[in-house]
């Protein structure tokens, strides 16, 4: 089945700096790679996703990159703000109506 590793488990940055979280996977059939954000005490919510037919996708301050050859994908947050502090989960699916498997999460703290 799908396996996804996420690093780092915790990340602390200064406000305004960039943050990068990386996930690696093993199943080359994986073709859908979303990122979810979970604020303290809240439910996870989708922030950005990418499918295997593109290498990069941007949405304002966040971007996701995908390297299919190396089997890894990354979340990039630029100009971090205190409200970016949350736990971020990567996930993946092999499509075909198959399940979504989540990484172990990264606790991001943006310090003033």
Partner 1 sequence: GAGVSQSPSNKVTEKGKDVELRCDPISGHTALYWYRQSLGQGLEFLIYFQGNSAPDKSGLPSDRFSAERTGGSVSTLTIQRTQQEDSAVYLCASSLIAGGDTGELFFGEGSRLTVL
| Interacting residue with partner 1 among 32, 63, 71, 76 (CB under 8 A) | 32
Q: Within 10 Å of residue 68's Cβ, how many Cβ atoms?
A: 15
Cβ closer to partner 1: 22 or 105? 105
Q: Which stretch binds partner 1 (CB under 8 A): 21-29, 55-63, 72-80, 88-96?
A: 88-96
C-alpha span between 82 and 19 (Å, rounded):
12
C-alpha span between 92 and 34 (Å, rounded):
6
What six digits make up the tokens of 107?
């606790």
Binding residues vs partner 1 (CB under 8 A): 1, 32, 34, 36, 43-46, 49, 51, 89, 93, 95-105
């Amino acid at each position: 089945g799908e396996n996804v590793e996420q690093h780092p488990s915790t990340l602390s940055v200064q406000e305004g700096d960039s943050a990068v979280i990386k996930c690696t996977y093993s199943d080359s059939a994986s073709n859908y790679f979303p990122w979810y954000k979970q604020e303290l005490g809240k439910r996870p919510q989708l922030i950005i996703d990418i499918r295997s037919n593109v290498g990069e996708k941007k949405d304002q301050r966040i971007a996701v990159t995908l390297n299919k050859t190396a089997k890894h994908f990354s979340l990039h947050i630029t100009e971090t703000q205190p409200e970016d502090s949350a736990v971020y989960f990567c996930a993946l699916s092999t499509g075909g109506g198959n399940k979504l498997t989540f990484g172990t999460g990264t606790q991001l703290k943006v310090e003033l």
